[in-house]
């Protein structure tokens, strides 16, 4: 049996190669797709440090301290940890917690603590779902709240408008974003340019804000107001939300173009805006500063330009939310292929871009959660209390995985790795600890979502493993079966393909077919689909087969965890199993398992019930493997786990 690690790696179908598009063109595209989440943080991050649950005095020392913390947080967490270091840790071009776990587990899976790294990655993925619910809610709501800066009388329309936009956003998903996606980059470039110019103008008026570049002012903040400075970290970290998403989206554009986008355009624009907000507050009289701090982003603009700014910010948050929702689809697809989520219905929304998918269950679950969040929390300040803990939790986990990567994969000496990991753990751990204080005010929500998602993911992975073990225990070797069956059943024309979850033994569907129908097709193929711990498999090495004689074949189709498992398309490239496959002369036989209570259950009964529920509600193999609907036969079997 060929090892998956031997497969060649190819770019994703529809991806733009370095030959087809310049690094600059890819960098421009990344601005529209990748940086929306972190790019819309200026709408609320600076404001929340002063008017959030733990308000600060509006004096020069506190403003300089907060801006200095934002600058150094962006430098250490986003620029150094993610863009510089973790983007080097790609799994054949793909990033994100699950891709990192796959990379690590391929090296240390047999070690004593390999399972712990996998669990950490799964938990980071679980936290992402909480983040993907809050991000659209807080982003769109904070932008629409700009209407109250234009006219206080519009306050009553904020929630209805925000809900209408969010519902429209989720309805749009099933149509795909290929057409409107072309507008994302120009709109976001305009948005970043506008916020940079607004900030730069304020810096020119009050240049002393540039003292915040000195880390002394961040340290001084802790000296003069230690407890409040620590609590302020819970709001400061909102400025770096979206950093994990940068790493997850690396596969779409590559590390080079994304680094160019970040350092050459996005980061300077964001810093100019944050420094501009701080400069404006310092430069205003106390009474005006108290009013402006309620929405400093929109107060940067002159009164006649605030309404256009609200429209621009709303479009930007719409784009940012779109990216997060697409990220949820992508993460779910990865988790599904790696065996942590049951089969779900997936629709491809683009004929050319393989990565553009739509998962109805995830889409509607997110929409319901977002609507509940908006109606429950009512405004972006309240949502900010729930925001951050999922992001800081995922970032802290990524730091721990980074340590495993340094020692287990990159083979660093521990005395080199320890100081680097310790630095980031101190920074990320401080942010996470500060956000834990927000649990009673709403931080419980992403933690609850993360705990539920983690339970579901691990239950499915464990139950699936137990089910395969129980089935393999009673499986009959295919070689013995082929010899005994060739003369005991009538052979009929055509091809029968029996889908099998493992590459050993006889599928239960084949046993049931010969038991009840007493026939065998002229060509019998036992087919297994295997997902490699790499994103894409070279089509030339996708197919693997063994001729067992007497018209029996064992075949394996290999796919990467980012690929669509379309079995008919894969069979078109397989000529060795007795010739070409004519779909009109081919029947697919599937096994449908029903779980029965076991006297010695492999996991607690409550988890067995959850697994059974997930198994009943998973998409059929026919739908998942893109099998022709009129050529499929399902045969049931019972399994005790």
Q: What is the DSSP string of 487-530?
A: TTSEEEEEEEEEE-SSSSS--HHHHHHHHHH-EEEEEEEEEEEE
Residue 18 falls inside a structural domain: no
**The model's pTM:** 0.80
Residue 149 in this model has a pLDDT that exceeds 80: yes
Give the strands of the sheet with 543-549, arranged side by side.
543-549, 552-559, 519-531, 490-499, 586-596, 632-640
Residue 4 in this model has a pLDDT that exceeds 70: no
Calculate mean pLDDT across residues 55-74: 91
pLDDT band at 180 (very low <50, low <70, confident <90, very high): low
Average pLDDT, the chain: 83
Q: Are residues 447 and 479 in the same domain?
A: no
* Residue where one domain finishes, among candidates 404, 432, 462: 462
List, for residues 376-433, the tens digit of each pLDDT value: 988 888 888 788 888 888 888 888 888 888 888 888 888 888 998 999 999 989 999 9
Q: Are residues 403 and 425 in the same domain?
A: yes
Give me the domain span that covers residue 32: 25-462
Q: Are residues 382 and 481 in the same domain?
A: no
Residue 353 in this model has a pLDDT that exceeds 60: no
Name residue 478's beta-bridge partners. none
Residue 236 falls inside a structural domain: yes
| Farthest-apart Cα atoms in the chain, separation | 96
pLDDT band at 18 (very low <50, low <70, confident <90, very high): very low
- Would strands 586-596 and 490-499 be described as parallel, antiparallel, or unpaired? parallel
Residue 455 falls inside a structural domain: yes
Calculate mean pLDDT across residues 482-510: 80
Q: Are residues 63 and 115 in the same domain?
A: yes
Calculate mean pLDDT across residues 275-284: 93
Q: Are residues 446 and 484 in the same domain?
A: no
- Which residue, among 25, 31, 36, has the nearest Cα to 323 in the 3D structure? 36
Residue 521 falls inside a structural domain: yes
Burial 401-417 (b: 16+ CB within 10 A, else e): bbbbbbbbeeebeeeeb
Residue 170 falls inside a structural domain: yes
Calculate mean pLDDT across residues 280-309: 89
Using a pLDDT cut of 90, give the percent of the chain over it: 22
For the ranges 56-65, 150-159, 272-281, the maximum mean pLDDT occurs at 272-281
Q: Are residues 454 and 367 in the same domain?
A: yes
User: 216 or 516: which carries more pLDDT confidence?
Assistant: 216
Residue 470 falls inside a structural domain: no
Q: Are residues 454 and 481 in the same domain?
A: no
User: 110 or 412: which carries more pLDDT confidence?
Assistant: 412
Domain count, the chain: 2
Residue 65 in this model has a pLDDT that exceeds 70: yes
pLDDT band at 200 (very low <50, low <70, confident <90, very high): very high
Q: Are 74 and 270 in contact (CB under 8 A)?
A: yes
Q: Which pair of structure tokens corresponds to residue 261? A: 């986008």
pLDDT at 599: 67
User: 154 or 3: which carries more pLDDT confidence?
Assistant: 154
pLDDT band at 211 (very low <50, low <70, confident <90, very high): very high
């Amino acid at each position: 049996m060929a090892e998956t690690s031997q497969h060649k790696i190819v770019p994703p179908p529809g991806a733009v190669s370095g030959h087809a598009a310049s690094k600059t063109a890819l960098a421009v595209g990344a601005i529209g797709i990748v940086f929306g989440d972190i790019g819309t943080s200026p709408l609320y991050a600076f404001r929340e440090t002063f008017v959030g649950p733990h308000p600060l005095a509006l004096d020069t020392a506190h403003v300089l301290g907060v801006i200095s913390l934002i600058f150094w947080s962006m430098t250490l967490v986003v620029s150094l940890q993610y863009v510089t270091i973790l983007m080097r840790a790609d799994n054949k071009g793909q990033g994100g917690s699950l891709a990192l776990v796959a990379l690590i587990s391929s090296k240390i899976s047999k070690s004593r603590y390999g399972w712990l790294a996998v669990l950490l990655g799964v938990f980071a993925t679980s936290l992402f779902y909480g983040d993907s619910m809050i991000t659209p809610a807080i982003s769109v709501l904070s932008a629409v709240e700009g209407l109250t800066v234009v006219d206080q009388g519009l306050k009553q329309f904020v929630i209805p408008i925000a809900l209408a936009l969010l519902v429209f956003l989720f309805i749009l998903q099933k149509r795909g974003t290929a057409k409107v996606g072309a507008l994302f980059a120009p709109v976001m470039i305009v948005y970043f340019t506008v916020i940079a110019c607004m900030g730069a103008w304020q810096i020119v008026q009050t240049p002393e804000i540039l003292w915040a570049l000195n880390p002394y002012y961040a340290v001084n903040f802790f000296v003069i107001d230690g407890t409040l400075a620590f609590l302020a970290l819970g709001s400061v970290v909102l400025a770096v939300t979206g950093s994990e998403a940068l790493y997850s989206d690396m596969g779409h554009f590559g590390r080079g173009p994304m680094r160019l986008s970040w350092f050459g355009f996005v980061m300077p624009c964001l810093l100019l805006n944050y420094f501009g907000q701080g400069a404006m507050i310092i430069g205003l009289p106390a009474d005006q500063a108290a009013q402006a701090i309620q929405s400093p982003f929109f107060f940067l603009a002159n009164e006649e330009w605030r309404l256009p700014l609200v429209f621009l910010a709303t479009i930007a948050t719409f784009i940012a939310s779109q990216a997060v929702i697409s990220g949820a689809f992508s993460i779910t697809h990865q988790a599904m292929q790696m065996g942590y989520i049951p089969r779900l219905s997936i629709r491809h929304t683009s004929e050319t871009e393989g990565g553009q998918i739509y998962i109805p269950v995830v889409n509607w679950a997110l929409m319901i959660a977002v609507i509940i969040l908006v109606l429950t929390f009512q405004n972006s300040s309240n949502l900010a209390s729930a925001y951050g803990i999922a992001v800081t939790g995922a970032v802290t986990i990524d730091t721990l995985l980074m340590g495993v990567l340094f020692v287990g994969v990159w083979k660093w000496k521990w005395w080199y790795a320890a100081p680097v990991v310790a630095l980031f753990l101190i920074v990320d751990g401080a942010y996470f600890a500060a956000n834990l204080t927000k649990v009673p005010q709403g931080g419980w929500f992403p933690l609850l979502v993360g705990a539920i998602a983690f339970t579901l993911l691990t239950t499915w992975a464990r139950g699936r493993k137990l089910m395969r073990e129980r089935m393999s225990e009673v499986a009959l070797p295919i070689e013995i079966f082929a010899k005994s069956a060739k003369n005991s059943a009538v052979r009929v024309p055509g091809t029968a393909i029996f889908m099998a979850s493992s590459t050993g033994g006889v599928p239960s569907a084949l046993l049931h077919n010969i038991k009840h129908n007493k026939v065998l097709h002229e060509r019998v193929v036992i087919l297994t689909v295997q997902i490699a711990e790499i994103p894409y498999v070279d089509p030339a090495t996708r197919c693997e087969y063994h001729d067992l004689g007497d018209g029996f074949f064992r075949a394996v189709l290999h796919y990467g965890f980012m690929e669509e498992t379309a079995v008919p398309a894969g069979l078109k490239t397989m000529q060795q199993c007795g010739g070409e496959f004519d779909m009109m002369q081919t029947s697919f036989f599937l096994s449908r398992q029903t779980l029965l209570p076991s006297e010695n259950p492999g996991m607690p009964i409550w988890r067995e019930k959850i697994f059974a529920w997930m198994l009943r509600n998973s998409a059929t193999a026919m739908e998942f493997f893109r099998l022709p609907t009129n050529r499929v036969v399902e045969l049931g079997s019972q399994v005790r786990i």
